[in-house]
Amino acid sequence: AIGRTVQDRTGLSLRRVLRQLRPLRSATIQANGAIQTLPPALGDDEQAVLEDLKQASSRH
């Protein structure tokens, strides 16, 4: 069900979505006692996939 929802919302195969998003990683660094988590740098394609996934389902 989750895979089908991903495909319906993005218009991409589940395999393609996973390939696009797999390399995304956040980074946590510690400097001078402060811990900072940096989000991944998103390209246009990755941002579009994530925006599509955020859309509410029209079935409810």
User: pTM of this prediction?
Assistant: 0.69
Whether 23 is covered by a domain: the verdict is yes
Residue 55: predicted pLDDT? 85
Count up the domains in the chain and report the number. 1
Q: Which domain holds residue 30?
A: 2-54
Whether 59 is covered by a domain: the verdict is no
In whole angstroms, give the CA distance from residue 47 to residue 60. Answer: 25
Whether 60 is covered by a domain: the verdict is no
Whether 25 is covered by a domain: the verdict is yes
Q: pLDDT truncated to tens, each residue of the chain (60 aa)?
A: 999 999 999 999 999 999 999 999 999 999 999 999 999 999 999 999 999 999 876 554
Identify the burial level of 49 via C-beta atoms within 10 angstroms of its C-beta, where 0-12 means exposed, 13-18 middle and 19 or more buried: buried
